[in-house]
Chain A
Amino acid sequence: EAGVTQSPTHLIKTRGQQATLRCSPISGHTSVYWYQQALGLGLQFLLWYDEGEERNRGNFPPRFSGRQFPNYSSELNVNALELEDSALYLCASSTGGPSQNEQFFGPGTRLTVL
């Protein structure tokens, strides 16, 4: 069974540009989560999508947004990139439902903002 996949692996942008990161969940999973892992800040929750709807959002500005498609894949968009947006962005998926369900993570997209 294929795991969570993310693309691209690496992304280099300049300040002020927009970045789009993509995630495909494990087959059968309806929930997708985005986390940011920045140096010195640890792993921080960004967004949760379930059944096409944004269900929860972390403490990030509105220029971080995303969506979930009918096939449950997801996009994370970061507008007006700032240098501090440089980080590893991890996507995870789960079956949804009870909160006890574990989240399975993809390999991440490393975003570098110059």
Chain B
Amino acid sequence: AQKVTQAQTEISVVEKEDVTLDCVYETRDTTYYLFWYKQPPSGELVFLIRRNSFDEQNEISGRYSWNFQKSTSSFNFTITASQVVDSAVYFCALKNNFGNEKLTFGTGTRLTIIP
């Protein structure tokens, strides 16, 4: 069985602060894929990043960075110099390599950036 845990239900930070969203996953598969999605108030899930289990290289995209650590089954997401537009619910998700295409989502972290 697969499981994704996002222990932080809600986080509030003041604009320009850095913030890290935690994601811990469980899977018995040796090959799997991890994703982060952003859900603004409009409701649409916006794809942010995919990470393959065999690629532990961390990634940076502008103010966003992701830290994938297989040893601790974590895939954390950091926003540097946060902005009000970053306010949203962020979901971490997991998919196996068996072709059933099911995304298993965490419960999400609601991030509020205070101006």
Which residues on A are within 8 Å of B, measured CB to CB? 31, 33, 35, 42-45, 48, 50, 55-56, 58, 88, 90, 92, 94, 99-100, 102-108, 110
Contact = CB atoms under 8 A, between A and B. Distances in A.
Interface SS of chain A: helix, strand, loop or mixed?
Answer: strand
Contacts, number: 62
Contacts of B103: 33, 35, 43, 45, 103
A103 B96 contact: no
Given A58-B102, A100-B33, A43 B44 contact: no
Contacts of A105: 37, 44-47
Interface of B: 33, 35, 37, 42-47, 50, 52, 91, 93, 95-108
A48 B50 contact: no
B99 A99 contact: yes
B43 A33 contact: no
A43 B105 contact: yes
